[in-house]
Chains A and B, each alone.
Chain A
Amino acid sequence: MSTKIKYFFEQSWLLMVSSVVFGLLLAVTDAAWKPRIEQNVVNRFTSLAGGLLTEAERFEPIAQTISIDIKGKAVPVEVKRGLNAAGQTVGWAFVCEGSGFADKIRLVVATDAAFTKMAGFGVLFSNETPGFGDKINITPANGGFYQPQFIGAPVGTLTLTKTGDPAVIDDHIVAISGATVTSQAVVDTLNAWLVPIREKMAAEGLLK
C-alpha cells in the first residue's frame, strides 16, 4: 500500500504543486481585479440607464427584493431607482434577459416614475446577426430605427408588426427588416418582464 502511495506521489507531485501554484496565482489575480470588473458592470449599466433617464443623476438599488416568474422559474430582478439632483424619483431601471436569434439578449430597460411608460432600452449583451439583428444595438443618436419606437411606449403588451409607421409611439413595434426573430425576441422579453415587475413593485408600495 505504501508502495502504491509512494508511486502516486512520484508520478503526480508536479501536477499537485502546479495546481496549487496556479490556483494561488488565479486567486491573487481575481482578488486584484475583481473590484474593477464589478465596477465596469455597474458603469455599463449606469451609462445605458443614464442615457435613457437623462434627468437621473444617480441610480440606487431599491431595498426590496423583486422576483418574477419567467417560464416557471423565479428570477430575481435588481431594480434601481433613478434620482435627480433633488433626490426625486425620475424613473426605474433594471436588466432583463431573453432568448434572441443567435444567443441570449440582455437589455437595460428604463421606465418613467409611474412605471406606465417606457423610457427605452439599451443593449447590454447580444450576439445577433451583423447587419440585421444587431441593429437593435443602434441608438437613436446614431440613427437607430428600432430603439426609438420604445421611448414613450406604454408598459403593457407590445405587438410586433412588419409594416407601419415607426414614428408613431404606441404598443405596435415595427420589426427590423430581415430581422423579425430578433425584433420579436426584444418584444417578447419586454412583455415577459415589464408587467410582472410593475405588479411586484406596486405590491411593495413603490409606485405612486
Chain B
Amino acid sequence: MAEFVQVVVDGVATGSIYGALALALVLIFRSTSVVNFAQGEMAMFSTFVAWGIHQAGVPLGLALLGAFAFSFAAGAIIERVVIRPFEGGEPLTLVIVTLGLFLLINSAAGWIWGFNNRSFPSAFPDSSVTIVGARLDVESLGIVAVLIVVVGLLYLLFQRTGIGLAMRAAALNPDASRLVGVRVGRMLMLGWGLAALLGALAGVLVAPQLFLDPNLMGGVLVYSFAAAALGGFDSAIGAVVGGWIIGVSENVAGTYVNFIGADLKILVPLGIIFVVLLVKPSGLFGSPEVARA
C-alpha cells in the first residue's frame, strides 16, 4: 500500500510539472485562441533571465519578480510585433509562426547562455514530509499549492472581472467585441503578457528539478499539450488535473504493468486521452464546441 501511495504521489509531483506549463498554454488559448508552440521556450528564456538577475547578486525573490515583469512585457511585445500581423488570418499560419519563434528563442538562449546545465535555486525548502508512509518533497507540495492558487486566480480573473470578460470576448469573436467597445488589441497583448508570465512561473518552478538549459521545456511541452487537451483546452483546472492524471497514470502503468516499461509508459496517458476525447471530444473540463452551419 505504501508503495502504491508513493507511486501516486510521485506521479502527482511529475504531473505538476506538466500542469504548470499547461496552464500557460490554456491561458493563451483562452485569451487569444492561439496554440503557442513557443510557450515552453518563452518560459525557458524567462527562467534564464531570472537566473541571470539572481546571478548578478539580486535576492531570489526580487530576481523572480524581475523575470516576471520582463516576461509580461516581452509576451505583450511579441504579440504586438510578431503575432498581431497574423490576427484573423489562417490559424495554421499562426501555428507555424509560433514554431518559428520556438526555434528562434531556443537558439538565442543557447547563444547567450550556452547549452550546459545550470542549477536553479528553489524557492522552497529542501526537505520532505511523510504521508501515509509515502515520502513527499516539500518542493513538490509547494508546486501543487502554487498551481492551485493560480487556478483560483485565473478563475477570478475570467469569471469575476470585467477585464477577464473582455479578454474572453476578444478571443472568441474579435469583430463583435470591437463593436461593443472592447479594445481587442490591448486584450490580446494582455493575454500574451499574462501567459508569458505564467510560463515564467512554470519555468522557475520546474527548473530546480530539471536543471536549467535551453532544452528545459523541450520534453515538457508535449506532455503539457497532452495535459491541456485532456483537461479541455480552455479550462485552467482541467490543465492541472490533466497534468496529474498523466503523471499518475504513466507512473502507475510503468510500475505495475511489466510489458509497458519506462520506454512506452507515455502510451498509457495517451491512450487515456484518446478514450476521454472519444467520449468527450472537448476534454474533461472544456466547453463543447458549437458547430455552425
Q: Decide if A and B are genuine partners.
A: no
